[in-house]
Amino acid sequence: MGKRFSDQMISANHPQPPRTREPEVFVVSSDSQYAESILSQCRDVPKKYTVYDSIKGLMSALSKREKVNLAFAVIVEESGDSVDTPALRVCKLNFPQLYYIVMLEECRQQSNVRFQSLGVQSLLLPPFSEVSLKREIATALPNIPQFKRHPDLMSRGSVRLDFLIPSDLSYVLGVNHLISMLLKEFSFPASECRINIPLACDEALTNAIIHGNNSDPEKKVSIQIYISSSRIKLRIKDQGEGFDVDEVQNPTEGANVMRSSGRGVFLMKSIMDTVEYKDGGRVLELEKANSELGERGDRNNAKRNHVAG
């Protein structure tokens, strides 16, 4: 089997019940010839697959279908920086039936963290001659929970957690895993549990480690988490020199479009209800209300008003 980025890569390698029909497979690559050369090195490549030149192209094609069944998107690029992660996030939100396998010649640890935060099932690196795509697809489905949750239990409490982690990106995945699990237990929408909030947390922690602490192993990052059925609050503090928040430019305006700086802050603000820097930029506070709770409340109020009328 091909090399994964790390032994901590999330992948469900447990036996799965047989399926009556093979899932559809899409190959996404900005260079179709390069993708074919990589796939030709693999073992057990699906006989049928459709090639798209971008994730946006795949989304456009899927949006024209009346129904999208279980399918796999195999993204093939030379490096992690070549993958359109904003489009991947939108695709995950719009088409939850898709599972993702990413094949790269090289991948920075920061990109690996980002892919896992987005819910990529497998991240595969050379040698591709050891990769069995059929096996990757067959083992990519999630595990079935062993215990049943009580629908009313979590509405009667909250969770507070405190962590002090070293300036090591490998810890980001563990924090995101825990947050995602708790959000699900507190009945946050699936899109928030699996993609949006973990992605915002990934950005916040990565910034604290890389830009705040300069990846100094002697410096720590403090993480405070509060989750209830109504909202999630996060407080992240690094031990760096801080920065002037007012100098961060909007990456969607003018010449800033071509710059990489500022995109993380803009991304967090687009996901969370509140993004606030304090203590000279060393402290970041994030907050997000549970929209599912609001929708349920609106429906209950509508029912009560209907009965009263």
- pLDDT tens-digit map of 137-185: 888 765 444 556 677 888 889 999 999 999 999 999 999 999 999 999 9
In a domain, residue 104? The reply is: yes
Residues 197 and 265 in one domain: yes
Task: Please give the tally of structural domains in the chain.
Answer: 2
Residues 172 and 49 in one domain: no
Residues 119 and 162 in one domain: no
Domain boundary among 108, 138, 168: 138
Which residue range forms the structural domain that includes residue 187?
156-245+260-294
- pLDDT tens-digit map of 190-216: 999 989 999 999 999 999 999 999 999
Please list the ranges in the chain whose pLDDT falls under 70.
Answer: 1-21, 141-149, 248-263, 294-309
In a domain, residue 225? The reply is: yes
Domain boundary among 138, 166, 191: 138
* CATH number (domain holding residue 280): 3.30.565.10
Residues 7 and 134 in one domain: yes
| Three-class HEC string of the chain | CCEECCCCCCCCCCCCCCCCCCCEEEEECCCHHHHHHHHCCCECCCCCCEEECCHHHHHHHHHCCCCCCCEEEEEEEEEHHHCCHHHHHHHHHHCCCEEEEEEEEECCHHHHHHHHHCCCCEEEECCHHHCEHHHHHHCCCCCCCCCCCCCCCHHHCEEEEEEEEECCCHHHHHHHHHHHHHHHHCCCCHHHHHHHHHHHHHHHHHHHHHHHCCCCCCCEEEEEEEEECCEEEEEEECCCCCCCHHHCCCCCCHHHHHCCCCHHHHHHHHHCCEEEEEHHHCEEEEEEECHHHHHHHHHHHHHHHHHHC
* CATH number (domain holding residue 125): 3.40.50.2300
Residues 14 and 134 in one domain: yes
In a domain, residue 100? The reply is: yes
In a domain, residue 304? The reply is: no
